[in-house]
Amino acid sequence: MASGVKPRVKVPKKASAGDVITIKTLISHKMESGQRKDGDGNVIPRSIINRFVADFNGENVIDVTLEPAISTNPYFQFDATVPESGEFHFTWYDDDGDVYETKKKITVS
Amino acid sequence: MELSRRKLLAVGASSFALLSLGTSAALASKADEAIAKFTGGADAGEGALELIAPEIAENGNTVPIEINAPGAVSVTVLADGNPVPNVATFNFGKLNASRSASTRIRLSKTQNVIAVAKMEDGSFQMAKANVKVTIGGCGG
């Protein structure tokens, strides 16, 4: 079902050790709330991303539980501390069992 | 479904007056239940927790909100006038620097957005913001 799902993530490429960096994420997804009805008055079944997790080198940064009240194309902005060079790992979990992943490297000097 | 904008506004205005009298109590208690579930019945006081939301949202389909919760372990966001009050729960990890986050949410009508934070010492804090919604975001 979930077609055209594309995660987009903005992470700075470089930082100093211990810096606080801001991360922005957006994933294209229609987030069908389960409240809407189609032309015949039938309820369109819920189909959303229900969880979003961001990790850095295996340590958790943020773990969000999403409900249908999150807008289409879920957007999140948050801050992270980067102790050393490594990789951010972003994961989105869809209601239909799909898992979308993306990774971003950062160099810490 | 084929309501014109004009009709929609008229229907909205009249039903809103009724709704705000009739169902808001029921919906508010739904939100209270959700809060009680999150806090385990503990009282939530005021504190450093901050919830930033626009005063007026023209489009209820995408309302930007921001939470600032220094010292919080997790924060849950609720909308007391939505069909389902729960909006999202943020759990902050070890590498989260500022315990803040922003996202975009749907609001079906004018209502309170509530943030409840669980602090590191196990206490709870609560913050509220009233958002006036011009066009609801539930596609009904």
pLDDT at residue B41 is higher than 90: no
CB contact under 8 A, B62 and A72: yes
Angle between helices B5-22 and B24-39 (to 10 degrees): 70
CA-based nearest distance B104→chain A, Å: 6
Evaluate if residue B89 carries a pLDDT over 90.
Answer: yes
Given a contact cutoff of 8 angstroms between Cβ atoms, the answer to whether A83 and A108 are in contact is: yes
CA-based torsion, B12, A47, A64, A7: positive or negative: negative
Q: What is the mean pLDDT of residues B106-121?
A: 93
Which residue in A78, A2, B21, B83 sits closest to A90, CA to CA?
A78
**What pLDDT digit, counting tens, does each position of B21-38 carry?**
445 556 568 888 889 989
Residue B1, both tokens: 């479904």
* Cross-chain Cβ contact B106/A36 below 8 Å: no
Write out the DSSP string of B7-26: HHHHHHHHHHHHHHHHTHHH
pLDDT band at B13 (very low <50, low <70, confident <90, very high): low
For an interface test with A, give the residue of B68, B82, B91, B103 to mutate (most A CBs within 10 A): B103
Query: Which residues of B fall within a CB distance of 8 Å from A92?
Result: none
pLDDT band at B76 (very low <50, low <70, confident <90, very high): very high
Residue in A44, A60, A71, A82 to test binding to B, most B beta-carbons within 10 Å = A71
Quote the pTM value: 0.83
Residue B44 confidence (pLDDT): 85
> Using the beta-carbon criterion (under 8 Å), do A80 and B84 form an inter-chain contact?
no
User: CB distance from A20 to chain B under 8 Å?
Assistant: yes
User: Which residues are registered as beta bridge partners of B105?
Assistant: A70, B63
Contacts of B93 in chain A (CB under 8 A): 54-55, 59-63
Residue B38 in tokens: 């999150």
| A9 Cβ contact list (under 8 Å, min separation 6) | A23, A24, A25, A26, A88, A90, A102, A104
CA B98 to chain CA mean position, Å = 21
pLDDT above 50: residue B120: yes
The pLDDT assigned to B22 comes to: 46
**Digitized pLDDT (tens) for each residue of chain A, 109 residues in all:** 457 789 999 999 999 988 899 999 999 999 998 888 888 989 999 999 999 999 999 999 999 999 999 999 999 999 999 999 999 999 999 999 999 999 999 999 8
